[in-house]
Amino acid sequence: MDSGINSKANLQEILNSLEVDRKKIAETYQTCYILFGLAILILVVGLFIRFAALGIIGCLVPLIIGIVMYFRIDDDAKKYKSAYKMNIVGTALKDINETLTIAPQSGLPEYEFISSELFTTEPDRYKTQDLISGIADKTSFGFAEVHAEYKTETRDKNGTKTTWHTIFKGIIFVADFNKNFNVSTVVRPKGIADAIGSWFSKNVFSFGNSEVVQLENTEFDDKFATFSKDQIEARYILTPAMMERILDLNRKSDDTISISFIHSKMYIAFPLSHNYFEAPIHSSLLAPDLLTYDLSIVQFMQDIIHELDLNTRIWGKE
How far apart are the C-alpha atoms of 97 and 90, rounded to whole Å? 11
How far apart are the C-alpha atoms of 290 and 280, rounded to whole Å? 9
How far apart are the C-alpha atoms of 60 and 55, rounded to whole Å? 9
Among 96, 116, 143, identify where a domain stops. Answer: 96
Among 96, 122, 153, identify where a domain stops. Answer: 96
- Does residue 312 belong to any structural domain of this protein? no
Same domain, 156 and 123: yes
What is the full per-residue pLDDT of the chain (318 aa) written as tens digits?
A: 445 555 666 778 888 888 999 999 999 999 999 999 988 888 888 878 777 777 788 788 888 888 988 888 888 899 999 999 998 898 889 888 899 999 999 999 999 999 999 998 899 999 999 999 999 888 899 999 999 999 998 887 777 888 899 999 999 999 987 777 888 899 999 875 444 443 343 343 444 567 888 888 889 988 999 999 888 888 888 888 888 888 988 888 878 899 999 988 999 999 887 778 888 888 888 888 888 888 888 888 888 888 877 766 555 554
- Does residue 271 belong to any structural domain of this protein? yes
Strands 258-262 vs 185-189: parallel, antiparallel or unpaired = antiparallel
Same domain, 85 and 210: no
Strands in 159-176's sheet, in edge-to-edge order, are 101-103, 125-136, 139-156, 159-176, 265-271, 258-262, 185-189, 224-228, 211-212
Same domain, 173 and 133: yes
Among 51, 66, 96, identify where a domain stops. Answer: 96
How far apart are the C-alpha atoms of 137 and 107, rounded to whole Å? 23
Question: What does the H/E/C string look like for 117-182?
Answer: CCCCCCCCEEEEEEEEEEEECCEEEEEEEEEEEEEEEEEECCEEEEEEEEEEEEEEEEEECCCCCC
- Does residue 317 belong to any structural domain of this protein? no
- Does residue 285 belong to any structural domain of this protein? yes
Same domain, 117 and 227: yes
- Does residue 272 belong to any structural domain of this protein? yes
Domain count, the chain: 2
Stated pTM of the model: 0.80
Q: Is the dihedral of CA 305, 117, 200, 162 positive or negative?
A: positive
Same domain, 59 and 135: no
Same domain, 165 and 228: yes
* Domain encompassing residue 77: 2-96
CA dihedral 199, 205, 210, 211 (to 10 degrees): -40
